[in-house]
Amino acid sequence: MLENIRLAFQGVWSHKLRSMLTMLGIIIGIASIISIVSTIQGTNEQIKQNLIGGGNNTVDVELYRADEKIQVSDYEQAPRGVPTITDDILQEIKDVDGVESAAAYYSRSYADSIYYNNNSLQGAQVLGVDNNYFSTTGYVVRTGRTFREEDYKEFHKVVILDQSAATSLFQEESPLGKTIEINKEPFTVIGIAQKLEEFEPTINSFEEYNNYKGNESLGVVYIPSACWCIPYQYDEPQNVVVRASSTETMTKVGQKSADILNGYMNVKEDDVKYKATNVLELAAQIQSSSATMNTQLIWIASISLLVGGIGVMNIMLVSVTERTSEIGLKKAIGAKKRSILTQFLTEAVVLTSLGGIIGVIAGNILAQVIHKVSGTPVAISIPAILISVLFSMVIGIVFGLLPSVQAANLDPIDALRHE
């Protein structure tokens, strides 16, 4: 076999231009597939990252009625029988394999009762958070201070704003120490929270804007969960945010956390349950919208592989004709059909494998050029590279088989007479 490989490389090197032109179809096909797959994978990873938000791996487990999230307001009451999320329940969630941290919180979306003097904060979100919420969700308080244990024990009416809420209410004025009203209750601003790692999703279309930014509130206001009953109702249900150890475990830990909470439910309505936000499923739905076009592109690129395979068959047939006398001589001194077949098949496989390797290199370079020119994200796919090289070898076997069989079946006497 090693001798056959050596002879194959010798044959390729002795006809360098012809071999390169023969491999061109394989190179173009493999390069096209590698660059397309890299672009698809890069785009898919970007979609996932946009939805997850910079890789903080947090999953919200919230209360739903059927497929509709329950939004508690001054006009809509929460269903009775929803459990209070105690420290023991939270600890049970934290003990789930793959959970790094968990926190409970109350939520009012699009609150319209937040004021500072004559300035109102319309459409903001109010969260009543426990003392683990900021560390779980990846937020820090860089200006002012965070909530302390006494704020929870002594029901201090203090509030932390995010940067959007602080800018909307106070413009250029420092909010620290100022008093705002939440549902006509005064709260003192003690800090401004922000993400530990700031992340902005890459927006390439209006549809993506709606997916990633359209549902954002105009600011977030945080108060201690113990003080929730001051501006709002006593019996409102809590939600849980869970931080997973990795992106891949988010779906699993979210579902298990929801199952734990639903185990404590005592609600008469069967369709009221806790559900986890499945961002990976949402990412898959967005990715699938372009899957058909991506598949068509890959098939179109594969046509050049077929053309390249036909070129390999053609050049191998020419090679058999050129070396008919050599084949006759080998058969005359005892070479078997199998050895002749193996020699020419090896040469075809080496030819297409070289084309595959060059195509992989060209495809990776092309993917980086696409990224630099258009800004499209790319991610090199190792499985795609391995499959491409193996596929090019298969092409060599399939399209090299006919010439190899023809060479093996030559009559030695006729072959020796050939000129």
Tell me which of 151 and 338 has the higher pLDDT: 151
How is residue 248 written in tokens? 């891949």
Q: Are both 78 and 37 inside the same structural domain?
A: no
How is residue 133 written in tokens? 């919420």
Cβ proximity of 352 and 395 under 8 Å: yes
Q: Are both 294 and 382 inside the same structural domain?
A: yes
**At residue 408, does pLDDT exceed 70?**
no
Position 410 scores a pLDDT of: 64
Position 202 scores a pLDDT of: 46
Domain that residue 376 falls in: 2-49+289-417
φ and ψ of 330, to 5 deg: -65, -40
CB proximity list for 35: less than 8 A, separation 6 or greater: 363, 364, 366, 367, 370, 378
Q: Is residue 281 part of a domain?
A: no
How would residue 159 be classed by pLDDT, with cut points 50, 70 and 90? very high
Query: Which spans in 99-160 are helix H?
Result: 133-137, 149-153
Q: Are both 39 and 112 inside the same structural domain?
A: no
Whole-angstrom CA distances from 307 to 18, 19, 311, 314, 315 are 16, 15, 6, 11, 12
How is residue 189 written in tokens? 């601003």
Q: Are both 88 and 127 inside the same structural domain?
A: yes
How is residue 224 written in tokens? 């201690």
Q: Is residue 283 part of a domain?
A: no
Q: Is residue 370 part of a domain?
A: yes
- β-partners of residue 140 are 194
How is residue 210 written in tokens? 């709606």
Q: Are both 38 and 112 inside the same structural domain?
A: no
Q: Is residue 62 part of a domain?
A: no
The count of C-alpha atoms lying within 13 angstroms of the C-alpha of 347, restricted to the half-sphere facing its C-beta, is 27
99-111/124-129 β-pairing? antiparallel
Q: Which of 241, 270, 299 is the last residue of a domain?
A: 270
Tell me which of 405 and 244 has the higher pLDDT: 244
Q: How far is CA 231 from the centre of its chain?
A: 40
How is residue 93 written in tokens? 């969630």
Q: Is residue 275 part of a domain?
A: no
Q: Are both 257 and 296 inside the same structural domain?
A: no
Domain count, the chain: 2
Position 278 scores a pLDDT of: 64
CB atoms within 10 A of CB 162: 20
Q: Are both 28 and 129 inside the same structural domain?
A: no
Report the alpha-carbon distance of residue 340 to residue 334 in Å, rounded: 11
pLDDT digits (tens, 9 = 90+) for 357-383: 888 888 888 888 887 887 777 777 787
Q: Is residue 279 part of a domain?
A: no
Q: Are both 83 and 144 inside the same structural domain?
A: yes
pTM: 0.59
Q: Are both 345 and 303 inside the same structural domain?
A: yes
Q: What is the CA radius of gyration of the chain?
A: 33
Q: Is residue 284 part of a domain?
A: no
pLDDT digits (tens, 9 = 90+) for 285-319: 555 555 666 677 677 767 777 777 777 777 777 77
Q: Which of 270, 301, 325 is the last residue of a domain?
A: 270
Report the alpha-carbon distance of residue 101 to residue 389 in Å, rounded: 43
How would residue 73 be classed by pLDDT, with cut points 50, 70 and 90? low
Q: Are both 256 and 367 inside the same structural domain?
A: no
Q: Are both 259 and 127 inside the same structural domain?
A: yes
Going by C-alpha positions, the residue among 23, 27, 1 that lies closest to residue 315 is: 23
Q: Is residue 265 part of a domain?
A: yes
**At residue 26, does pLDDT exceed 70?**
yes
Q: Are both 236 and 353 inside the same structural domain?
A: no
